[in-house]
Amino acid sequence: MLAIIQSVSALHRRGLDVSKTSVVACLAVALCLSGGVSSTAFAVDGSVIEGSVGIWAPLLPELTEVGGASDSGDSVGTLLELSGHHRFDGYLTSVEAGVEYGITDTVEMFGYEFLLRDTWSFDVGELSAGTGFSQMQWDREWANREIGNDYTGAKIRGGWETTFGRQPIWIDLTLGIYDFDGSYDDGVNNETISKVTTTWGLDVKADCDRFGIPMRFVGGIDYLRDMTTWHAGQISTDDGLALTGAVEFRLR
């Protein structure tokens, strides 16, 4: 926990904006990591609705102007997510849906998805795989410049639910295949770029119980192969990352 608090302080010293909500989420994550529970990981039949709040750190491509002005693209903010699934009793298939919203002082992201996923039980735990529709919109501001990144396509997800020692663990791997539309507008230049691109994601979840409240720590990393960049008067694309540390609560 002390290490996480020191990390937040270091971000302040570097001049990055860390909101009060982010700090609270960071402390909750630290409390969650300091202990575990002894239940078994398994897919839940019926309907489940979950919400999460946490720290979000997008590391986006650098932007530069002819005169030498630049923006690193790194910022820290807050991520909110609402998700749910329904698994029919006696069947392998579950219906999943989720919506997420992330915001920093320079970046705003909104995304949603609808998936169908099958789950199989083995001695090593439960393995799952599924696919469905996904859409994301990333808006970035730099002075009077607006940079857009729109992704529309499909997402493929594979998961493993198991227990290490007495700690339930959920691991999800995702591959996104999208039609990408990027844009740059500074009032003088208005440029667009389009292509087919991919994204990769890894999420690790661990159950814990603090103050009598069951919760789940979520650590994630997302890699986006193409995001809009602007260098010396030319629009192009470069890769970006987004790091997440959140606490998830079961709402139903």
DSSP string of 160-193, one letter each residue: EEEEETTEEEEEEEEEEEEEEEEEEESSS-EEEE
Give the CA distances from residue 212 to residues 32, 34, 215, in Å, rounded to whole numbers and listed in that order. 12, 15, 9
* Predicted pLDDT at 44: 54
| Strand blocks (E) in 38-144 | 46-59, 63-64, 70-71, 77-87, 93-103, 107-122, 125-142
Position 168 scores a pLDDT of 87
CB 45 within 8 A of CB 94: no
Domain residue limits at 112:
2-250
Q: CATH number of the domain that 208 lies in?
A: 2.40.128.100
pLDDT recorded at residue 9: 42
Alpha-carbon gap, residue 113 to 100, rounded angstroms: 9
pLDDT at 45: 59
Which amino acid is it at 220?
Answer: G
Q: Do residues 57 and 242 make contact, with C-beta atoms less than 8 angstroms apart?
A: yes
How do beta strands 77-87 and 190-210 pair? unpaired
CA–CA distance, 143 with 188 (Å, rounded to integer): 14
Query: For the chain, first and last CA: distance in Å?
Result: 29
The predicted-structure confidence for 209-236, as pLDDT tens digits, reads as follows 777 778 899 999 999 999 999 998 899 9
pLDDT digits (tens, 9 = 90+) for 144-170: 899 999 999 999 999 999 988 788 899
Closest CA to 242 of 108, 116, 114: 108
* Residue 11 CB-density burial (10 A; 0-12 exposed, 13-18 middle, 19+ buried): middle
pLDDT value at residue 8: 42
Q: What is the pLDDT of residue 211?
A: 75
Is 19:78 a contact under the CB 8 Å cutoff? Answer: yes
All residue ranges of the chain with pLDDT < 70 are: 1-45
pLDDT of the residue at 36: 40
Q: In the chain, how many domains are there?
A: 1
